[in-house]
């Protein structure tokens, strides 16, 4: 299986660390490609899109994502303590 290496162009001055960000894609048999990126790279962008109520988020509302089990446990605990049931 061949892995593609892509670079994101941020415009003049490159990426946040001075280096272009790179992501790896793994070809799949599905129509869409799977992309693996650090959570720290995508989370601020998604958060800002939610705060700005971007309508394109609705296009992905039912998409499934894969996260590490320990992150899922932390999110469940956060949800429980943030909104405790009666």
* DSSP run (H or E) holding 8: strand 4-8
* Residue 4's pLDDT band (cuts 50, 70, 90): low
**How far is the C-alpha of 15 from the C-alpha of 41, rounded, in Å?**
11
CB 24 within 8 A of CB 5: yes
**How far is the C-alpha of 78 from the C-alpha of 2, rounded, in Å?**
38
Between the alpha carbon of residue 83 and those of residues 9, 10, 29, 30, 63, the distances in Å are: 40, 38, 40, 37, 24
Taking only the tens place, the pLDDT of each residue in 21-78 is 555 666 655 556 788 889 999 999 999 999 999 999 999 999 999 999 999 999 999 9
What pLDDT, on a 0 to 100 scale, did the predictor assign at position 35? 83
What pLDDT, on a 0 to 100 scale, did the predictor assign at position 47? 95
CB 23 within 8 A of CB 8: yes
């Amino acid at each position: 299986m061949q892995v593609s290496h892509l670079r994101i162009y941020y415009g003049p001055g490159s990426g946040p660390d001075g280096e272009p960000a790179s992501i790896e894609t793994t070809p799949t048999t599905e129509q869409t490609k799977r992309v693996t990126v650090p959570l720290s790279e995508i989370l601020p962008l998604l958060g800002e899109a939610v705060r700005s109520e971007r309508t394109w988020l609705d296009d992905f509302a039912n998409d499934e994502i894969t996260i590490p089990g320990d992150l899922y446990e932390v999110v469940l605990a956060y949800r429980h303590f943030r909104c405790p049931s009666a």
